[in-house]
Amino acid sequence: MVSSTFFSDWNQMIKPRVTTLVLATILPGMYLAAEQPPSGFLIALTLFGTFLMSSASFIFNQIIEKDRDAKMKRTSNRPIPAGRIGSLQATLVGLVMTGMSFYLLTVYVNFLTALCAFAALVSYVFLYTILLKPRTPQNIVIGGVAGCVGPLIGYAAIGNSLPIQAWILFTMIFLWTPAHFWALAIFLKEDYSDADFPMLPVVKGVDQTAKSIFFYTILYSISCISFYFFESSMSFLYLISSILICVWMGILSFRLIKNPERQAARSLFFFSILHLFLINILILIDHNL
């Protein structure tokens, strides 16, 4: 009989809650690229294939960072540093997931979609985890491209192409990422310091990080609002709604400058997740209306 610990451990390994946000960014691209609503089968295969690839990237990340994870309170009880899952076992599972994802996306969707998903894995594992994260406080700015491919996957799955609208949505998430993860890094500053990760709050301090968060929040907000002018199917519903929620995120990031403390950073971190969900939901609703 499989124990509850087994499911709990693999849930930590594949991080389905994080992947859910990536999957949410795929759907707008699929609907915007299609003249008719895409089939449920195509949507399901695209999301499942991306889920497998994303899960594999998180597994490889934890294999590589197992020694650093052991030094951080937040991650010391993860399955690999705690010894409940071996690195070899995790590697095999990750490789199987990667192969299954690439096969399913290539055969049942198209090669460009599979390539976009695989590029995200390579970017996250090699560019972010291995090359940038241990070396530079700008790691999440450059390495964050891995989390931006959802719109590219969505457009590729339907049109087998990557139009300008796909890249605008890609840029939107690219600009969202630093504000989101630096807010997380503020209230996990001690953990990152213990593990010798040069995250921005550790290297430059919380005050400078808060100012950088505000800067990227402004750029992200501009990209969200500008999508209205590049996508003809968007109406004033999207324009007004996106302005309102972007203003609120701007207020939260400005408050962080005035009060650069853990609780303010937590509030911004969780709202940023909600914000990205809302933007993608707004695009879907407005397009379908």
Q: How high is the pLDDT of residue 76?
A: 86
- Higher pLDDT: 55 or 2? It is 55
- Higher pLDDT: 254 or 144? It is 254
Is residue 247 pLDDT above 80, yes or no? yes
Please state the rounded mean pLDDT for residues 91-103: 97
% of the chain residues with pLDDT over 70: 99
Is residue 115 pLDDT above 60, yes or no? yes
- Looking at every residue in the chain, the average pLDDT score rounds to 91
Is residue 48 pLDDT above 90, yes or no? yes
Nearest to 241 by CA among 190, 215, 197, 278: 278
Band (pLDDT 50/70/90 cuts) for residue 107 is very high
Band (pLDDT 50/70/90 cuts) for residue 1 is very low
Q: Is the dihedral of CA 261, 267, 270, 276 positive or negative?
A: negative
CATH of 1-160, one of 1.10.287.3510, 3.30.465.10, 1.10.357.140, 3.30.565.10: 1.10.357.140
Q: How high is the pLDDT of residue 4?
A: 66
State the Rg of the chain over Cα. 19
Q: How high is the pLDDT of residue 3?
A: 59
163 torsion bin: left (phi>0), alpha (psi -120 to 50), beta (else): beta
Query: Where do the domains of the chain lie?
Result: 1-160, 163-289
8 Å CB contact between 171 and 220 = no
8 Å CB contact between 16 and 84 = no
